[in-house]
Amino acid sequence: MQTIFFHALELFSFCMAIHIFIWRVFPLRNQIIGLGVIFSTGPLLLLGAALSFDASSLDWLSWGLSALLHFALFGVYVNLYTLVAGFSPSIGILERVEESMPRGLQRHELAPPWFNDKNLSGARRENLLSTGMIDESDGLLHLSPRGRAIAGCFLLFRRFLGLPDVAKG
């Protein structure tokens, strides 16, 4: 069990190093597809390297289970990636308050100048346009059929959980 865990960490760390290198040197346009390619081919590269040394000593079951754990870690990372890479108003507020320490910050001083349309909705709007979830014509945004299906699923799930509709406040 410990071997599986350490192999999965090796796989994930190897892919993470590749991801950080590519992110810093060659920023990707479609981050999610790029991450999928990196985290899918990384284990294959390591397996190829291991096979070139001594294929008879490989414990295929351990490596297979390690790859499964690696892909589970990758799934969690992809879901957290947008939180790390995207603009977060909550993180912005925390940074703004932290800058004013130890004095503190009054509530009316809270809204920094970068709480604007570009930062709050611009990147998300551009992402939705580029992925075909919404269309824009005559200055108006419209849901595409794909966007309507996904929005409907999330709205249904939020209602199932008893959460309020986000667009209605």
Which tens digit of pLDDT belongs to each residue from 32-81?
Answer: 788 888 888 888 887 777 777 765 666 777 878 888 899 999 988 887 77
Q: What is the pLDDT of residues 18-38, one digit of tens each?
A: 888 888 888 777 777 888 888
CA distance 17 to 111: 36
CA distance 16 to 21: 9
Query: Concatenated DSSP letters for 116-157?
Result: SHIIIIIHHHHHHHHTTSEEEETTEEEE-HHHHHHHHHHHHH
Q: What is the pLDDT of residues 120-144, one digit of tens each?
A: 777 778 878 888 888 988 888 898 9
Tokens of 116: 């604007």
